[in-house]
Amino acid sequence: MADTALDGLIEALRRLPGVGVKSAQRMAYHLLQHDRDGARRIATALTDAATRIRHCARCHTFTETEVCGTCSDARRDARLLAVVESPADQAAMERSGSYRGLYFVLMGRLSPLDGIGVADIGADALLARACDGVVEEVILATGFTAEGELTAHALAQALKARGLKVTRLARGVPAGSELEYVDLSTIAYALVDRR
């Protein structure tokens, strides 16, 4: 039966997103039975990260320095600023190898139903960042979900009101897709945005 430290571990693991009581139990049993070294490593990594990681003063992504490596890279094109929802989205754009500008990471997206408004995604900081006199074009690269579109729409209005050029990633048929398997609204958008 569960003793105190085991109950405490299961309870703590449930704080991880997507982990319910069954998964937390499975994780705890696995670590205690097969990977105590792993348990200690995860503990150290968590403490390290919680202590050392902060937000980049320029783009808000996670970093251990005042300004992140991307923002302080002089080879990047400071006239382009891509607005993304998360460091994961930023990483996906970097992997594409086709963007050489800078980023602003919202660390979220507008979600009125969850009470997440413009203040929560650092819209003021984005406006200040985009009006630094160097940025010429803001590329809205939020997701093509309802919330991502809402976020892009709200930010586009605020940015345009300050006289900035604002663009949005193109919608269309994904590379490598057969038309037969592409959903209808994607085909509709690809028709409208045909070039």
Q: How far is the CB of 106 from a second copy (least distance, A)?
A: 11
Q: How far is the CB of 76 from a second copy (least distance, A)?
A: 12
Span from 31-39, 132-140, 169-177, 186-194 in contact with a second copy (CB under 8 A): 31-39
Footprint on residues 40-69 left by a second copy (CB under 8 A)? 40-50, 52-53, 61-65, 68-69
How far apart, in Å, are the Cα atoms of 73 and each of 13, 51, 60? 37, 25, 15
Residue 74 makes contact with a second copy by CB under 8 A: no
Residue 20 makes contact with a second copy by CB under 8 A: no
Residues engaged in binding a second copy (CB under 8 A): 1-6, 8-9, 11-13, 15-18, 23, 25-33, 35-36, 38-50, 52-53, 61-65, 68-70, 86-88, 90-91, 94, 107-108
